[in-house]
Structure 1
């Protein structure tokens, strides 16, 4: 009789299949980040206020017309056990001319995404570290992290390998410059 090898973790295929088959309650979102399935409750009002403020300012001030999505997932390369990460950023901006949102798929590739935005909530370390690395691996040029616990806004740029090589942070209320294609100064006063 041959002994069967025991795998303490499900195989990548089984994990991905199980993740894609999840049926989360309405308003909840499920993400697969470096082999871990994370289910988050619906966001609160302060969380949504920050996203709304960023969206409004980008639409009003960006010289390039942008599309915005707060519900589309991204399929990102992995550096961990999972072959692909499936994340749902709080906000995704892409040049409108590219029509990235012009299909009915729940997840899209990150190609040509100009900026992702995350507001910390129930798992802030995921936004600060795991998601930041995922976005950098996907070569998304800009990552804006609104950290409600620390009362800071950080713009990460220049992705290389598993992280961003530049970052600019400031306390809520301090403006932060968004480079091209946005080319304006983001007002963070109402992020509290």
Structure 2
């Protein structure tokens, strides 16, 4: 007989939302896997990468919107709260939503790694599990540590994560499959790493 360890939570999602709503703008808080996390303040290179992606989306898919700072309810029963670096949706998708929106309709979540100790756990493990379980079709990880882009597709809603994971080095052309359907020339990203 296998005994499963019960997952312990630091606090309820309601307690987290109260704390997050009172946090200063210089701090971004998330609640994933039952634990509160702090996202490091972004640097100029991080923001430049998000701006680069925004321009590519505007150029090739003007019918889509790229949001930064939009919180999402993620994980089983929507008990997690994540603030991706960017999310891509149909035009005006989040109109009328509050700080934490349902991820239904999100086409792709994007994270750009920060140079902090939580990046591995948060961006490479917890976020793909949460986004996949939430049914977000694509997760794009722009990893400045390894100079790679990883495209996660075919979400697995039962166990979380994605069934198809493809990684390319900065400098290669990367196809973002449907529902985004654009190709990115990533050569310029080599300029935005330490």
**What TM-score do the two structures reach when normalised by structure 1?**
0.85
> Which residue of structure 2 lines up, in the alignment, with residue 168 of structure 1?
166
Count of aligned residue pairs for this structure pair: 177
- How do residues 2-41 of structure 1 correspond to structure 2 at under 5 angstroms? 14-22=11-19, 23-41=22-40
SS at match of 2:12: helix
Alpha-carbon distance, 1:41 to partner: 3.1
Change (3 A) 1:10 1:146: closer
Higher relative contact order (CA 8 A, sep 6+): 1
Which of the residues 166, 184, 187 maps onto 1:186? Answer: 184
Name the structure 2 match of 1:103.
96
Unaligned runs of 5+ in 1: 1-8
In structure 2, the residue matched to 1:6 is none
1:115-162: CA deviation from partner (whole Å, max 9, x where unpaired): 110001122121000000000000100000001111110000001131
137-146 or 21-30, which moves further after superposition? 21-30
Spell out structure 1 runs of 4+ moving beyond 4 A. Answer: none
Rounded Cα–Cα distance in structure 2 between residues aligned with 1:180 and 1:15: 36
CA offset at residue 182 of structure 1? Answer: 2.5
Whether 1:128 and 2:124 are equivalent positions in the alignment is yes
* In 1, Cα distance between equivalents of 2:161 and 2:13: 24
- Give the CA RMSD over aligned residues: 1.9
Deviation at 1:68, TM superposition (A): 1.5
Quick check: 1:76–1:110 contact (8 Å CA) kept in 2? yes
Task: Tell me, yes or no, if the aligned pair for 1:50 and 1:190 is still in contact at 8 Å.
Answer: no
**How far does residue 78 in structure 1 lie from its aligned partner after superposition?**
3.0
Larger radius of gyration: 1
